[in-house]
Amino acid sequence: MGTGIAQCLAEAGHRVVVVDPGEQALATAPARLRDGIRLARMFREQPAAVPMDAALQAVTWTRRTQDLADARFVLECAPERIPLKEKVFRELDDVCGADAVFATVTSAIPVERLAAHTGRPRQVLGMHFMNPAPLKEAVEVVRGPRTADETLDTALALLAGIGKTGIVVSDAPGFVSNRVLMLTVNEAATVVEQGTADAATVDRVFQECFGHTMGPLATGDLIGLDTIVDTLDVLLECTGDQRFVPCGLLRGMVAEGRLGRKSGNGFHRYGPR
């Protein structure tokens, strides 16, 4: 997701600094960015604002959070684990200038919970990009209880500048999208676990009966089943609602490394990337 968002910004002409502590992730990131730009330009109707080479050169890759000292707008894309994201926000608050805006790309953690770990809660909001970020036209924008009007306006203007529409919702665990979607994926997996139908049939019902472009299990594969389980765990912790307990099949698949598209095997099988 982080690479996809960096691509959106770089193709719109922004200078981007990407921080990732993983050496392997940083080593492969430029190639993944190039592949993402090529793919997006095959499917996107409107041309990008800058040539591919300029977009690639606009992105700096680093392991150092300190390299964000001059950033005016920071999008946090750490894995969906509450203690980790809280730690990242404390670090960003120490490193970044007082006028910088922080946007969390969390799937489910309430914005206010993360904003409380900064000294600038009025400058914190959620920007929930959908996967794959370069090909999705809308972003769920989450306004925390202390998010200032100016912060929201800045975020919506940034999205408009990269060709996306922000849909504003209020703060709550899972917001709108994942409060509903995670239950759907979990229940769809339970249907498979109980033998009511196989994964292909479950997805076909949603596609052919309801007109969905993609069924819930294929959607889970696209997001990543490890991310699905992490998000369900966050929703369970934040709401106490037992409906968010990940079903045994989901946990088992993640333990086996069947994570969806990124591993080549999830509820469906996928060819070489």
pLDDT digits 0-9 by tens, 150-196: 999 999 999 999 999 999 999 999 999 999 999 999 999 999 999 99
Bridge pairing between strands 101-104 and 124-128? parallel
* C-alpha span between 250 and 240 (Å, rounded): 19
- Average pLDDT rounded to a whole number, residues 88-116: 97
Q: How do the domains of the chain map onto residue ranges?
A: 1-170, 176-263
**Residue 48 pLDDT:** 74
Lowest-confidence pick of 16-20, 21-25, 101-105, 123-127: 21-25
pLDDT digits 0-9 by tens, 216-269: 999 999 999 999 999 999 999 999 999 999 999 999 999 999 999 999 999 999
Query: What CATH superfamily classification does 1-170 receive?
Result: NAD(P)-binding Rossmann-like Domain (3.40.50.720)
Residue 21, preceding peptide bond in cis (omega within 30° of 0): no
**Residue 149 pLDDT:** 98
**Residue 249 pLDDT:** 98
**Residue 161 pLDDT:** 95
Distances from the Cα of 30 to the Cαs of 26, 136, 219, in angstroms?
8, 21, 26
Residue type for position 100: A
Query: What CATH superfamily classification does 176-263 receive?
Result: N-(1-d-carboxylethyl)-l-norvaline Dehydrogenase; domain 2 (1.10.1040.10)
pLDDT digits 0-9 by tens, 28-78: 999 999 999 988 888 776 777 788 899 999 999 999 999 999 999 999 999
**Residue 271 pLDDT:** 82
Question: Are both 1-170 and 176-263 of the same fold?
Answer: no
Nearest 5°: phi and psi at 107? -85, -25
* C-alpha span between 122 and 41 (Å, rounded): 36
